[in-house]
Amino acid sequence: MSAWATVVLAVGVAAITAVAGLTGAYLQRLTAKDQLVHEETEPWRKVLVETTGAYIDAWHEFRSFLRARSIESDEALPFDAKAKEQIDPLGTKCAQTIDKVMLAFGKTTECGKAAAQLDEEIWNLKQVVLKTPTGWDATTRRHIADLLDAVNDAHNEFVKKAHIACQPTRWKEPEGEPKAKTPGRELGSDAAETS
């Protein structure tokens, strides 16, 4: 092997080693930042998920209670005085859990706004049901079922936004600070341009 070939080989090995070292350091830095963000955000994310879960459980209980009485079938459960007494506690439970959701997410966030809209829909549903006489006929059942569908649409919109808000976060470069350059980028782009 000639002397110049040995020099080129040595420089090449050194360049590859340097690029590998810089890449390893860069990846280690990103991993450390991701770990730090995870440690800082995971407890709060857990609160958001638990709060949302408590609301979803309360809504499903309220919805199931009303759905069983509003289906257009002979098998529908009766809406009698005993059933009417349960509306206020079930609706209040939904309201309390959705208030906790708005507290956790914040009322000005997309999720908080969806929760506020949902809270209003649930309140309206509860008021209509409480004002409705017992012994529902087919027309009343259909009306309550339509109201349930409207609230369920608001519920689905909230869940979609809560899902986005509860996703784990990754570290991002702070705004206004210089971005870290990808190691070896300059070497690769120069080599690509001269080839």
99 against 1, higher pLDDT: 99
Indicate whether 137 pLDDT > 70: yes
Question: Averaged over 146-160, what is the pLDDT?
Answer: 94
Q: Are the CB atoms for 60 and 93 separated by under 8 Å?
A: no
CATH number at residue 56: 1.20.120
Whether residue 48 lies inside any domain: the answer is: yes
Q: What is the pLDDT of residue 165?
A: 83
Whether residue 74 lies inside any domain: the answer is: yes
| Residue 29 neighbours by CB under 8 Å, 6+ apart | 180
Q: Which of 137, 123, 144 is nearest to 70 (CA)?
A: 144
Whether residue 60 lies inside any domain: the answer is: yes
Q: What is the pLDDT of residue 151?
A: 94
Please give the radius of gyration of the chain, using alpha carbons only, rounded to the nearest integer.
Answer: 30
Q: What percent of the chain has pLDDT over 70?
A: 79
Q: Which of 27, 21, 15 is nearest to 191 (CA)?
A: 15
Number of alpha carbons in the 13 Å side-chain half-sphere of residue 154: 22
Domain count across the chain: 1
Whether residue 16 lies inside any domain: the answer is: no
Q: What is the pLDDT of residue 11?
A: 79
Q: Which of 5, 137, 11 is nearest to 72 (CA)?
A: 137
- Could you tell me the pLDDT band of residue 113, with boundaries at 50, 70 and 90? very high
Retrieve residue 89's tokens.
């506690």
- Could you tell me the pLDDT band of residue 143, with boundaries at 50, 70 and 90? very high
Number of alpha carbons in the 13 Å side-chain half-sphere of residue 171: 15
Whether residue 130 lies inside any domain: the answer is: yes
Q: Which of 91, 87, 86 is nearest to 58 (CA)?
A: 91
Whether residue 163 lies inside any domain: the answer is: yes
57 against 195, higher pLDDT: 57
Q: Which of 95, 86, 143 is nearest to 120 (CA)?
A: 95
Residues 70-90 pLDDT 10s: 988 888 899 999 999 999 999
Indicate whether 116 pLDDT > 80: yes
For 121, the domain range is: 36-169
Whether residue 13 lies inside any domain: the answer is: no
> Residue 83 and residue 55: Cα distance in Å, rounded?
21
Q: What is the pLDDT of residue 17?
A: 83
Whether residue 31 lies inside any domain: the answer is: no
- Could you tell me the pLDDT band of residue 69, with boundaries at 50, 70 and 90? very high
Residues 30-44 pLDDT 10s: 666 666 665 666 777
CA angle 130, 134, 139 (to 5 degrees): 95
Q: What is the pLDDT of residue 190?
A: 43
Rounded to two decimals, the pTM is: 0.66
